[in-house]
Amino acid sequence: MRARHTLVVTLAAGALLLPSTAASAAPPPPAVDLGREVLPPGDGWASYEGPTVPDGKPTVATGTTGGAAADPSQVYVVDTWQELRDALAGKPGGSQTDARTNTVPRIIYVTGTITAFDPATCDDFARQVTVSDTGKPFRMADYIAYYDPAGPWGKVRPSGPLETARIAAAAVQAATTLQHVGSNVTLVGVGDDAAIVGASVRIRDAHNVIVRNLTIADAYDCFPVWDPTDTAVGNWNSAYDNVSVWTSTSVWVDHNTFHDGAHPHSALPVVFGRPFETHDGLLDITHGSDLVTVSYNRLENHDKTELIGSSDSRLQDRGQHRVTLHHNHWVDIGQRAPRVRFGDVHLYDNLYTQTQEGLFQYYWGAGIESSIYAENNAFELAPGVDPGRIITRWAGTQLFETGSTVNGEPTDLLAAFNATAPVPLAPTARWSPADVYDYTLDPVEDVPALVRASAGAGVLSSGTPVATAAPGVAVLSDDNGQGTGLFDGSYTVTANLYWGQNATVAKLYENGALVDAEWLTGTTPRRQTVRFPVTGKVNGTYTYVVELLNPYGTSTSRPHTVVVKDASPAVAVLSDDNRDGDGSFTVTTSLWWGTNATHYALYRDGVLVDEQELVAATPRRQTVRTVVTGLEPGTYRFVAVLSNDAGSTPTAERVVTVRR
């Protein structure tokens, strides 16, 4: 059997990501630009090319490349929540609909910790909602007091003004903390400290999305709903997953860390005898999503970690929910690692660790019409935990499992479950991963060490090989007026980074608006130069700045002003050959030197009498002639107007007298 390795394909080449196993210390590898990498062929279901039907809408998958095809103008480095939202929407202040429906390829680098909100401010959301029957601001404390199952309300689902107000308060929070991700996006963390905290990231109605090297924590729900009918004792249910994949296809979630941040399950208060649950899943894949690879992630200290398929009643999800999970590390979690409905799900070379029994209920949930194929997974159970609890049945009928170990010993997990299960699971699967994609297993005895060393955020050497920090500041210049002496609206703005950390992208802004962008190559600290041609500017003043960007950050040049004063055609001179005054003559328009025209119009006494299209050859002479015939005796005033895209320039009036 071949040794497992993970090949990450860039636009031009591959890169080996696993750390060296050599005994001697080696220098760290050069940083890799994760934004340009794509999912390699054969890496799980997300590499599949073929038909899929998310939520009944047929489409054809072509692998997973994320935003690797992005234009340089669509590359962003963000370190605030609003910057991230704007980048996903594709414009400042864009809506969630903008973000969800945006299909323009984008690469978004996250640096540092981005905080969507502080749960200590939940009351600020609540105060924006008025309870209809009291006229007072909504408070979760009032909700809890009113719907106490031991009180007059009893064990009935909440309804009425307070429940309506809770729903409204939840919508206020969602407008601030729920963020949609559209198609053709790569969202990556830079370095070992990139994080998104307090947000729920929802990949919805999208295709071709990559999320890598991020810690995504604490998707905190200020307003969970109480359901006294959820189990015999009731439950508080939250609305937000750290990451959810809804009705989306071709998604790669790789080398991330998921947890509850400052609000772990152990710190939750108990209300009505149940944990006041402020989190839902860590990574849920639902609503007909399909073709997802989840690799090298760490999911820790959470109850319901990963749900694949949201409801037994969603029969439209049949044939969907095809997901591969490999080399992930679950640590001290309660359940759903994963729980599967309908899907063909491949689990291999994953590690499940317990430091204590804690929340643990089960790991693999075989749901309705699911087909789990599990290979070479390692389990480290706390003392006293029965291996028969690893698997549970949720209306499923089959599960194929092989090569598993429990605390280092080979164990038949399915046999352990079936030994006490009221309804056993068949040791089969309706599919085989080898028939779909080419993969190689790591030996199960190597899985614990390999996954510990390789899973989670901050493991990859992310950044760029051309620099180790944000780029230096460019100096701008221009050649406006050089060569011809004309300040005619066609010139080049040049940005020079004379020395320092190099950039990978340069963006040109004109009067505050992005007008051009270029990919750059370089080697720090050598000089970088980028030239932006500018054409077609009308007379006026233009202020330019250049933003240099690499995955570590951005820099902005000082403003540089260019004045255009010769964009419109130069002033021409009219002449005529009416020497005999007989009413038949030629009017000649001569532009001796300057910015040429592309259109000519001649007016006689304010009435258009001739038009011609011209070929510009600035600054050379332009001459246009109009033959005039048959004029009656009298005095005539001629004016020619020369035009180009920048404007129009009239000549001085030429008076012609016809005597006979």
Active site amino acids: 336
Within 6-109, where are the H helices? 81-89, 96-101
State both tokens at 62. 């072509």
The whole-angstrom separation of Cα 654 and Cα 549 is: 57
HSE at residue 210, side-chain half, CA atoms within 13 A, is: 29
| Strands 283-286 and 257-259, sheet pairing | unpaired
Strands 113-115 and 178-181: unpaired
Among 359, 367, 181, 200, CA closest to 284 = 200
* Beta-bridge mates of residue 14: 9
Q: Is 509 helix (H, G, I), strand (E, B) or coil?
A: strand
How big is the chain, counted in residues? 660
Rounded distance between C-alpha atoms, residue 284 and residue 246, angstroms: 8
The backbone region for 152, taken as left when phi is positive above 0, alpha when psi lies in -120 to 50, beta otherwise, is: alpha
3-state secondary structure of 161: helix
Partnered with residue 189 across adjacent β-strands are 110
How far apart, in whole angstroms, are the C-alpha atoms of residue 200 and residue 38? 24
Q: Which residues have a Cβ under 8 Å from the Cβ of 55 and sit 6 or more positions away?
A: 247, 287, 288, 316
Query: Distance between CA atoms of 498 and 477, rounded to whole angstroms?
Result: 13
Q: Between β-strands 553-556 and 540-550, what pairing exists: parallel, antiparallel or unpaired?
A: antiparallel
Residue written as token pair 């006229």: 135
Contacts of residue 552, Cβ cutoff 8 Å, sequence gap at least 6: 77, 111, 190, 191, 463, 464, 467, 468, 469, 470, 501
Take residue 128 and report the two structure tokens written for it.
């924006």
- CB atoms < 10 A from the CB of 133, how many? 11
Report residue 521 as tokens: 């190559």
Measure Cα distances from 84 to 113, 199, 555 in Å.
12, 11, 18
Contact 602, 609 (CB under 8 A): yes
- Beta-sheet pairing, 405-406 with 409-410: antiparallel
**Cis peptide before 224, with omega less than 30 degrees from 0?**
no
